[in-house]
């Protein structure tokens, strides 16, 4: 069975992706920041789950994690960890330190984590990287405010497009994916879809992802999203 690696899995979409891949019989490696939530730890009894600490913005943490799993073949990497950014991110209130922190988590970390695991992905016969992005970063949508979050996801999309081109020759598929507006701590209770709907869509998408789709911005329903 294939191995899937999911970052930021203590709660929200990452936790549900862990649950659904385990139920499908995948070997799952999930990472948490600080300590594993009780919900994540409890999933260990439901299948082949290995948990690691990974703070995606700390290069030593990435290096230690990559070292610990250096012999493992990874078929699917899901860069899921992300933050909404500071409470104050309107034109009048956005501050650079908070904005930079948002970019570190949402934009830079997915590339550095992916880079550190290229050797693991190359051990797979069908390697795929998806990074959870957001329609809030799409340039075709005219909206206001949320400067830090929107810019972090817009830049993330470009980063993943470039990575897709660079990894194509090595047979590694790369796509940024919009997960829907999801009822999680980040999406809030008024969001449009449940976390299980979103995760089920992402699972289906990534299981069937092909090189033809590499470098495209996709949705949790498998459709192409305008950049
Ligand atoms: N919910 C939505 O409607 C929605 C819409 C579009 C895109 N997204 C994207 O979907 C992804 C998951 O979001 P979610 O709704 O599940 O959010 P969430 O419930 O807030 O969970 C975010 C996860 O990311 C982890 N994380 C944050 N910063 C990290 C860091 N520096 N290092 C390691 N892990 C870190 C968190 O760990 P802790 O538990 O330790 O904080 C948590 O497990 C994010 O990339 C988000 O931008 C969500």
Average pLDDT over every residue of 16-41 = 97
| Partners of 176 in beta bridges | 131
Q: How many A from CA of 79 to the centre of ligand 1?
A: 10
Find the mean pLDDT for residues 104-122. 98
Summarised one tens digit per residue, pLDDT across range 34-90 is 999 999 999 999 999 999 999 999 999 999 999 999 999 999 999 999 999 999 999
Q: Return all residues near 193 (Cβ < 8 A) that are at least 6 apart.
A: 180, 181, 182, 183
Q: Phi and psi for 56 in degrees, rounded to 5?
A: -70, -15
Question: What pLDDT does 174 receive?
Answer: 98
Can you tell me the mean pLDDT for 104-110?
98
Return the pLDDT at 28.
98
Task: Supply the pLDDT for residue 68.
Answer: 98
Q: Which residues line ligand 1 (CB under 6 A)?
A: 8, 10-14, 33-34, 54-57, 80-83, 105, 132, 134, 179, 181-182, 184-187, 191
Cβ-contact 103, 149 below 8 angstroms = no
pLDDT tens for 137-163 read 999 999 999 999 999 999 999 999 999
Cα separation, 207 vs 44, whole angstroms = 22
Distance CA 129, CA 226 (A): 19
| Residue-level pLDDT at 202 | 98
Give residue 208's pLDDT: 96
Q: What is the band of 204 on the pLDDT scale with cuts at 50, 70, 90?
A: very high
Domains of the chain: 3-219 (3.40.50.720)
The whole-angstrom separation of Cα 226 and Cα 152 is 17
User: Can you tell me the distance from the alpha carbon of 125 to that of 168, in angstroms, rounded to the nearest whole number?
Assistant: 14
CA of 169 to the centre of ligand 1 (A): 31
* Model confidence, pTM: 0.98
Question: Residue 9's pLDDT band (boundaries 50, 70, 90)?
Answer: very high
Q: How far is CA 5 from CA 18, 89, 223, in A?
A: 9, 31, 23
């Amino acid at each position: 069975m294939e191995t899937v690696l999911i970052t930021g899995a203590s709660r929200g979409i990452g936790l549900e992706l862990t649950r659904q891949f385990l139920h499908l019989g995948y070997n799952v490696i999930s990472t948490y920041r600080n300590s594993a939530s009780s919900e994540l730890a409890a999933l260990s009894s439901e299948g082949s789950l290995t948990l690691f600490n990974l703070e995606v913005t700390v290069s030593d943490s990435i290096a230690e994690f990559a070292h610990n799993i250096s012999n493992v073949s990874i078929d699917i990497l899901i860069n899921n960890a992300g933050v909404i950014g500071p409470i104050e991110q309107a034109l009048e209130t956005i501050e650079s330190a908070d904005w930079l922190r948002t970019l570190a988590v949402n934009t830079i970390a997915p590339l550095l984590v992916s880079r550190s695991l290229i050797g693991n992905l190359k051990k797979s016969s069908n390697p795929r990287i998806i990074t959870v992005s957001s329609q809030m970063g799409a340039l075709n949508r005219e909206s206001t405010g949320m400067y830090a979050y929107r810019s972090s996801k817009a830049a993330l999309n470009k980063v993943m497009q470039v990575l897709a081109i660079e990894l194509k020759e090595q047979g590694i598929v790369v796509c940024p994916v919009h997960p829907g507006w999801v009822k999680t701590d980040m999406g809030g209770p008024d969001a449009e879809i449940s976390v299980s709907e979103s995760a089920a869509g992402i699972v289906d998408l990534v299981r069937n992802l092909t090189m033809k789709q590499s470098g495209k911005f996709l949705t949790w329903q498998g459709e192409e999203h305008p950049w």
